Amino acid sequence: MLRQIVVISGKGGTGKTVLTASFATLAKNKVMVDCDVDAADLYLLLHPKILEKHDFIGGKTASLNIDKCVQCNECVKVCRFDAIKKNGKTVIIDPISCEGCGLCSYVCPASAIRMEENISGKWFISDTKYGPFVHAKLGIAEDNSGKLVAKIRQEAKNIAEKEHLDYIIIDGPPGIGCPVIASLSGVNCALIVTEPTLSGMHDAERVMEVVRHFKIPVKLVINKYDLNISLTEQIEAFCKEKKVPVIGKIGFDKAVVESIVRGKTVVEYADGGIKNEIIKIWETIQS
């Protein structure tokens, strides 16, 4: 049976991608997906060889045919985003400010405005020594990150079904926004990675509520737990109250930074404590 596991965090910088890359090393028969499309970095540790590259059409942008324009200013009046302005006698559309709602093209009596598809990013199917890898890159200031996440997750699922794989391992985005919700859809388990700081604890609580809203089994890992034992105990107490199992506590280890500098997963680079703890966490997820 195909199982989908997503690793998420309430905030950035908790060690989510480092843990996901380690799972990619430990798991057998899997496909990896990097759903943090706004700031994808799992590829830095997996070193993919790109096999396919595709454009992502994230929405539409208004385009003006100046030869047809009758200077009625109706489009200027209705654009609530101030993307359409008058420059002397000429109407100008700012593509960066345009939100693609299409109202201007609807009210234009001369049909001088049309909505054109906007290439918002790229998505890739790659090969790695760990297995197939699907990832993407959203363009700067582009929208529809949730739609792009849904696209690459579907591609990963297609690969898993075609190759009869056992796992889809998802590196989810931080926070609680649209791409997080798209990353959670239909998964078998959500693993939250947090750290013993006030912001880490608060944001883990927020993302935990989102996961539980969708009735998805949730587990939690505390990274760098030994930097603040008091807050670690508070997080454990909170999880016990909410009946969320804490399946691992990873201590601070310089080997993590060293492994990243060398472009390796920490379980390939390190020996002893941190490697054993991550292996234990993965075994717990499997069981």
Give the domain CATH number at 91. Answer: 3.30.70.20
Q: CA-CA distances (angstroms) from residue 207 to 170, 197, 212, 228, 275?
A: 16, 15, 9, 21, 26
What predicted TM-score, i.e. pTM, was given to this entire model? 0.88
Q: Starting at the edge strand that comes first in sequence, how are the strands of the sheet with 167-174 ordered?
A: 49-64, 113-128, 131-138, 30-34, 167-174, 3-9, 189-194, 218-223, 246-250
Q: Is residue 39 part of a domain?
A: yes
Look at residue 115 and tell me if it is in a domain: yes
Q: Are 10 and 176 in contact (CB under 8 A)?
A: yes
Instruction: State phi, psi for 197 to the nearest 5 degrees.
Output: -130, 165
Domain count, the chain: 2
Cα–Cα dist 269/264, whole Å: 6
Q: Does residue 134 sit in the same domain as residue 242?
A: yes
Which DSSP symbol is given to 227? Answer: G
Range of the domain at 114: 60-119
For each of the chain's 287 residues, which pLDDT tens digit applies? 899 999 999 888 899 999 999 999 999 999 999 999 998 999 999 999 999 999 998 888 999 999 999 999 999 999 999 999 988 888 999 988 998 999 999 999 999 999 998 888 999 999 999 999 999 999 887 777 899 999 999 999 999 999 999 999 999 999 999 999 999 999 999 999 999 999 999 999 999 999 999 999 999 999 999 999 999 999 999 999 999 999 999 999 999 999 999 999 999 998 878 999 999 999 999 98
